[in-house]
A and B are shown apart, each in its own frame.
Chain A
Amino acid sequence: MIFKSLDAETMLKNPEKISEMDRREFLKIGLVITGVFAGGSILSVASAADKIFPNGSIAEKYPYRPHYCMVIRVDRCIGCRRCVEGCAAANAVPSYGWRTLVLEKVVLQAVGQKREFIPVLCNQCNNPPCVRACPVTATYKDKKTGIVMMDNQKCIGCKICMAACPYEARYYNEERGAVDKCDFCFETSLSRGGKSTACQAACPADVRVFGDLSDPQSRVYRLVHQLQQPVWVLKKDTDAKPNIFYTKG
């Protein structure tokens, strides 16, 4: 049995007996130090409880204009998954694939709300492992927007980018004959003058906030650079410098 359910009561009674796996299970609940990023640069690694940014931690420059990013306010997500449907419809995502997903976390031991929904998608990393791994630059970082793009005509289908991605955000699309991934709806919206993504437009709870992180007037800038709520990213330890931020409120 690899996955054991967490016995928090026993753990707290016998703290000296907590095994390494138990400790990790405990951390999975969410009582975990969060790393705070902006534009792929680490702003701070601070306790979410303390809500402290160290001095001089706000990045002054972002490498792209516009520097597209998305802030996901997880506590607002109701799990309706209209974002997933909207994405699939806008980008012709087949039934066997996904560009975005809403994950469901159930914590029966939690006080009050016991369920949380976590939208995930390509993190448009500033240091994308997929781009480094691709042998023929079929996937690349757009120099203007920072979006990780696909050149379908070059894709050899080796799938090393799928293995390299820390967010499992890629799949092989038979119809396109290439690996497919979220491009912030660049092909279907942004390149045609659109200002939002399909997932953001479909969300009834304003969970996903999309915008330009290099613009101090944008919502995403203000959400990332505030001190009242913790901001974190997923898989911080891979040093991929993601541009999908998570917060609450």
Chain B
Amino acid sequence: MGCPENSSWKGCVQDAVRRVFSGGPVYLFFLGLFAVLLVAGIAAGIHSVYIVGSRHAYGSTREIPLAMLIATYTFFVITSTGLCLVSSIGHIFGVERFMPIAKRAVLLSVITIMSGFLVIGLELENPLRLGIYLFLSPNFTSNIWWMGVLYSFEVVLLILEFIFILLDNHKASVAAGLLGILFGIAAISNLGGVFAMLNGREFWYGPYLPIFFIASALLMGCAAVIFFTVLAYRIQREPLESPMADALAAVGKLAGLMLAVIMFFTIWRMVALAVGGTHELLVRDALVSGPFAFNFWVMEAGLGMILPFALVLWSAGKRIGPLFLASALVIFSSFFMRLDMVVAGQIVPMYWELGVREYARLHEYSPTGHEILVMLAGVGLTGAAFLLGEKVFQGFREVEGAGSGSGGTPEDVAQEPRSASKGKVDV
């Protein structure tokens, strides 16, 4: 794809580089911006862990050892699994309307999982030891060991699936994709288990998180497909043609369903917390009326559930503009959802029940500049790799060459096929 069959690899690379540099000033500005974020974030991470020490640079503490970077990691890997799952609906399970999104979704799945690995690599104190002792000294009862193994398999399978898709080897890509789904679901539910199996942490403990993470992954997958596909068509300066517009409408409906599921998950979670143990009651208070209230009500419930759900309803499964906005909100707010989930699970002191002076207040956490920069490194990698991918693979089109669309707003983009083709897109 994107390279004539009789041309050399060198020629392909030269063509790809030429396409990247012909992307226009806006494209190149954002590519440069994401590259700067990536480099700055990696530098901040190396500075934190290997030069000044994470105790000085990161906001995580003895009391809250898992913080923003763990939340960022979960954000990326949940998105990756979601993209893998949503892409599989058409590509693996044969639902026609979902077919057009598969290639981009698989590539994005690879990109986001690599972003997650980058962030966790800059969070771990001794990441090189992980590469050695994960194999030489495994602990099969550890969720993190399984997480490392399952995600390693998943990323290999996703890369293979993408390569087979590019080579038009349908059978091999389906096989790799099917295995990728199995490993992806196992990995994402196991990621929930990392938290859910810590029975000293009442807010996390129990079967809720592994199940919630799967539902959340599906929502994130839908949101990421819509968000990045609409942006991709702007980058290519082409209108959304009918099959892709139909696909996005179908993904939008699935997103609406998953939003409803997530809302009910959240409602029951809060209801259950109200009758839980002491730690759970304290966490509920912190979320509802304490230090996390803004994050919970505005960032999670308002911007992450209610408003996107209203936008999805308003789109009536046709208007791409509201779907795009809803997707952007879901992606943005889900980061806060992950952060709240990770941090709120640790705010209640372990010795709170003793009523001692040293542990008479909830633990507090604020991210540092270094942590924010490392988080942005993940954003930078995803953004830069997505932009490069769109040019290198020419927007995942079968046809050679780019179109000559005007490249307006997402709504403008969606309008064109309505008049130019028999697409169902409406604004």
Q: Kindly state the separation between the CA atoms of A235 and B278 in the bound complex, as whole angstroms.
A: 13
Partner of B199 from A97, A155, A168, A238 at Cβ < 8 Å:
A238
Report whether B358 and A103 are in contact in the complex, using a CB–CB cutoff of 8 Å.
yes
B357 contacts the other chain (CB 8 A): yes
Partner of B198 from A136, A154, A164, A167 at Cβ < 8 Å:
A164
Report whether A168 and B55 are in contact in the complex, using a CB–CB cutoff of 8 Å.
no
B361 contacts the other chain (CB 8 A): yes
Q: Kindly state the separation between the CA atoms of A160 and B191 in the bound complex, as whole angstroms.
A: 12
Report whether A156 and B201 are in contact in the complex, using a CB–CB cutoff of 8 Å.
no
Q: Kindly state the separation between the CA atoms of A170 and B201 in the bound complex, as whole angstroms.
A: 15
Partner of A163 from B134, B139, B201 at Cβ < 8 Å:
B201
Q: Which residues of A contact B200 (CB under 8 A)?
A: 129, 164-166, 235, 238, 240
Interface stretch among A40-48, A49-57, A171-179? A171-179
Chain A residue with minimal CB distance to B149?
A135
A16 contacts the other chain (CB 8 A): no
A195 contacts the other chain (CB 8 A): no
Interface stretch among B32-40, B298-306, B345-353, B406-414? B345-353
Do A154 and B357 form a contact, CB below 8 Å, given A96-B55, A135-B139? Answer: no
B359 contacts the other chain (CB 8 A): yes
A239 contacts the other chain (CB 8 A): yes
Q: Which residues of B contact A106 (CB under 8 A)?
A: 357
Pick the most buried of A106, A107, A134, A165: most chain B CB atoms within 10 A of its CB.
A134
Could you tell me the dominant secondary structure of chain A's interface residues? Answer: loop
B145 contacts the other chain (CB 8 A): yes
How far, in Å, is B192 (CB) from chain A's closest CB?
Answer: 14
Chain B residue with minimal CB distance to A98?
B62
Number of interface residues of A (CB under 8 A): 52
A158 contacts the other chain (CB 8 A): yes
Interface stretch among B20-28, B111-119, B124-132, B415-423? B124-132
B369 contacts the other chain (CB 8 A): no
Show 15 A/B contacts (Cβ-Cβ < 8 Å), sorted by A.
Answer: A28-B353, A28-B354, A96-B55, A101-B358, A105-B356, A132-B141, A135-B134, A137-B137, A138-B133, A156-B129, A162-B62, A162-B65, A163-B198, A168-B62, A178-B126
Chain A residue with minimal CB distance to B200?
A166
Report whether A103 and B351 are in contact in the complex, using a CB–CB cutoff of 8 Å.
yes
How far, in Å, is B286 (CB) from chain A's closest CB?
Answer: 7
A60 contacts the other chain (CB 8 A): no
Report whether A156 and B124 are in contact in the complex, using a CB–CB cutoff of 8 Å.
yes
Q: Which residues of A contact B126 (CB under 8 A)?
A: 155-157, 177-178
Report whether A159 and B198 are in contact in the complex, using a CB–CB cutoff of 8 Å.
no
Q: Which residues of B contact A96 (CB under 8 A)?
A: 55
B179 contacts the other chain (CB 8 A): no
Partner of A134 from B139, B199, B353 at Cβ < 8 Å:
B139
Q: Kindly state the separation between the CA atoms of A240 and B147 in the bound complex, as whole angstroms.
A: 23
Report whether B133 and A136 are in contact in the complex, using a CB–CB cutoff of 8 Å.
yes
Report whether B361 and A135 are in contact in the complex, using a CB–CB cutoff of 8 Å.
no
A24 contacts the other chain (CB 8 A): yes
Which residues of chain B from 192 to 217 have a CB within 8 Å of any chain A CB? 194, 197-201
A120 contacts the other chain (CB 8 A): yes
How far, in Å, is B136 (CB) from chain A's closest CB?
Answer: 8
Q: Write the A1-34 contact mask toward B (1 if CB under 8 angstroms, else 0).
A: 0110000000000000000110010011100000
How far, in Å, is A35 (CB) from chain B's closest CB?
Answer: 13
Q: Which residues of B contact A155 (CB under 8 A)?
A: 125-126, 129
Report whether A120 and B142 are in contact in the complex, using a CB–CB cutoff of 8 Å.
no
Q: Kindly state the separation between the CA atoms of A239 and B205 in the bound complex, as whole angstroms.
A: 13
A118 contacts the other chain (CB 8 A): yes
How far, in Å, is A87 (CB) from chain B's closest CB?
Answer: 16
Pick the most buried of A24, A164, A165, A170: most chain B CB atoms within 10 A of its CB.
A164
Chain A: residues with CB nearer than 8 A to chain B? Answer: 2-3, 20-21, 24, 27-29, 96-97, 101, 103-107, 118, 120, 129, 132-138, 153-160, 162-168, 170-172, 174, 177-178, 234-235, 238-240
Report whether A157 and B124 are in contact in the complex, using a CB–CB cutoff of 8 Å.
yes
Q: Which residues of A contact B286 (CB under 8 A)?
A: 2
Q: Kindly state the separation between the CA atoms of A168 and B65 in the bound complex, as whole angstroms.
A: 10
Q: Which residues of A contact B144 (CB under 8 A)?
A: 133-135, 158, 160
Q: Kindly state the separation between the CA atoms of A159 and B65 in the bound complex, as whole angstroms.
A: 6
Partner of A172 from B55, B138, B194, B350 at Cβ < 8 Å:
B55
Known: A3-B361, A165-B200. 7 other contacts (CB 8 A): A103-B356, A105-B357, A106-B357, A135-B133, A136-B137, A158-B130, A178-B126
Partner of A135 from B148, B199, B360 at Cβ < 8 Å:
B148
Q: Write the B341-381 contact mask toward A (1 if CB under 8 angstroms, else 0).
A: 00000100111011111111110000000000000000000
Q: Which residues of A contact B129 (CB under 8 A)?
A: 136, 153-157
Do A103 and B55 form a contact, CB below 8 Å, given A2-B282, A238-B200? Answer: no
B12 contacts the other chain (CB 8 A): no
Report whether A136 and B199 are in contact in the complex, using a CB–CB cutoff of 8 Å.
no
Q: Kindly state the separation between the CA atoms of A239 and B127 in the bound complex, as whole angstroms.
A: 31
Do A120 and B351 form a contact, CB below 8 Å, given A104-B357, A133-B144, A166-B200? Answer: yes
Do A168 and B142 form a contact, CB below 8 Å, given A104-B356, A156-B127, A157-B125? Answer: no
Report whether A24 and B194 are in contact in the complex, using a CB–CB cutoff of 8 Å.
no
Report whether B62 and A160 are in contact in the complex, using a CB–CB cutoff of 8 Å.
no
B60 contacts the other chain (CB 8 A): yes
Partner of B281 from A20, A170, A171 at Cβ < 8 Å:
A20
Q: Kindly state the separation between the CA atoms of A169 and B112 in the bound complex, as whole angstroms.
A: 35
Do A174 and B133 form a contact, CB below 8 Å, given A162-B62, A167-B350? Answer: no
Q: Which residues of A contact B141 (CB under 8 A)?
A: 132
How far, in Å, is A29 (CB) from chain B's closest CB?
Answer: 7
Report whether A158 and B355 are in contact in the complex, using a CB–CB cutoff of 8 Å.
no
Q: Kindly state the separation between the CA atoms of A41 and B365 in the bound complex, as whole angstroms.
A: 37
B401 contacts the other chain (CB 8 A): no
Q: Which residues of B contact A171 (CB under 8 A)?
A: 62
How far, in Å, is A235 (CB) from chain B's closest CB?
Answer: 7
